[in-house]
Amino acid sequence: MSLNPADDSFAALIRSKLGDEILRPVEERYLEEPRGRFAGQIGVLALPRTAEEVAALVRLALVERVPVVPYGGGTGLVGGQVMSEGQEPLLIALERMNAIRSVFPTENILIAEAGAILQDVQAAAEAADRLFPLSLAAQGSCRIGGNLSTNAGGVNVLRYGNARDLCLGLEAVLPNGEIWHGLSRLRKDNTGYDLRDLLIGAEGTLGIITAASLKLFPRPAAVGTAMFQVASPEAAIDLLALARDQVGEAVSTFELIHRQGLDFLTEVLPDVRRPFGAPPEWSVLIELGLAKGQSSSDALENLYDHAESLGLVQDGVIAQSEAQRADLWAVRERIPEANRLVGSVSSHDISIPISRIPDFIREGGKMIADRGQFRINCFGHLGDGNLHYNVFPPKGQNRSEFEGQRGAIKQAVHDLVDAYDGSVSAEHGVGRLKTDDLERYGDPVKLGAMRAIKAALDPQGIMNPGAVLNE
């Protein structure tokens, strides 16, 4: 399929229909993505203010056969927000559609426009004495529409689920330029196919999310945070099971941290305060959210004592103040920043069945060691099986020296993930980075159904072409 070029005449057409104010000169930030793997191109940049303006833009693009790339906060790590090849697209940035439309505290529901920054959604929920639990390192700049389009995860998935689990309804513009008014506040609605779940995780290939009806939760009355040194990944899994036996669903965060991540902090971010004098080989960050009348410090102390008696933990730090809690979280949250400063040869966002994670870590370590003196930083959301398994050059060397090995390392890691019945895309999505991986490891029946859905909803193929599915 060939598309007509997006030229000045298309911009002039948009101006004639929607006015000058909707268009913007192209800025460099819209051409970049955080990992620097893709450089984008833009024919026309539009910043609509309403769903009706988004719909009008899509209709014009459909008539003129111009590809459309939706743009949220630009924080995605798989290139879904930038289009490097093919015809220059119409980029629709949703940052002006950032209103919190309404909050219903008694229903535990908040309605936000797609351009609302995640941190602002969290603050609006807090102002109503409620919790919106989606929490990511990029929450100060990512936008809720992008979070839903990629089905973002984060540190609270263990208790509250992915972005998909936090959404009741959507308002969205479909590829034909029609607006689906699906901002349902219902928790039970069995009226046919669920378009909400179809659009969430589609990364803009089936339409553009313009607003969402989001689930809120009661704010925990007592929050407790601790970091425990564990004997091994097996011990960490046993500790998680023990914690859930003792406090049930109050476990909201359970993060596995390897010594390499702590070493990277020492190497490039020495200002980060580390909880242990000598970095342990493995540790976990655990957070509990308890109801009124319960003591989080007592719960964590009881957990530590029981775990120590079973040989699962050797040392631990329980936060006694908000400042100490922030210090513990800084260790986990700044590891990705340290990773970027060191520079990985190949990074992998994967998920593995939880009970198989220790074997995967051992086998993966041997496999990488056979290829050279690489450093592995394996960390992430152990409670939901999501690991960030990143391979780095030896100390003193630059990742550019190993660029020729990146593809082979990535495939070797992904082959092992597949052998362990895992997924090569856990929480970051497919974007343009992993389309070949989806073809290689995806179920062919599922891929066929996905292509059929894409062809039915977007027969002209204008919506974010090249993302998720190979063209």
Count how many Cα atoms sit within 13 Å of the Cα of residue 271 in the half-sphere of its side chain: 2
Query: What residue ranges do the domains of the chain occupy?
Result: 100-218, 222-336, 343-419
Query: How many whole angstroms from its chain centre is CA 15?
Result: 35
pLDDT attached to residue 35: 84
Q: Give the fold, CATH level 3, of 222-336.
A: Alpha-Beta Plaits (3.30.70)
Please report, in tens digits, the pLDDT of each residue of the chain (471 residues total): 333 434 589 999 999 999 999 999 999 999 999 888 888 999 999 999 999 999 999 999 999 999 999 999 999 999 999 999 999 999 999 999 999 999 999 999 999 999 999 999 999 999 999 999 999 989 999 999 999 999 999 999 999 999 999 999 999 999 999 999 999 999 999 999 999 999 999 999 999 999 999 999 999 999 999 999 999 999 999 999 999 999 999 999 999 999 999 999 999 999 999 999 899 999 999 999 998 889 999 999 999 999 999 999 999 999 999 999 999 999 999 999 999 999 999 999 999 999 999 999 999 999 999 999 999 999 999 999 999 999 999 999 999 999 999 999 999 999 999 999 999 999 999 999 999 999 999 999 999 999 999 999 999 999 999 999 998
pTM score, two decimals?
0.93
Distance CA(158)–CA(381), nearest Å, equals 8
Q: CA-based diameter of the chain, in Å?
A: 74
229 Cβ contact list (under 8 Å, min separation 6): 276, 280, 282, 283, 313, 314, 315, 316
Which fold is adopted by the domain 343-419? Alpha-Beta Plaits (3.30.70)
Instruction: Centre a 10 Å sphere on the Cβ of residue 292 and count the other Cβ atoms it contains.
Output: 8
CATH 3.30.465.10 fits domain 100-218: yes
The reply to whether domains 100-218 and 222-336 share a CATH topology is no
Spatial separation of the C-alpha atoms in residues 17 and 53, rounded to whole Å: 10
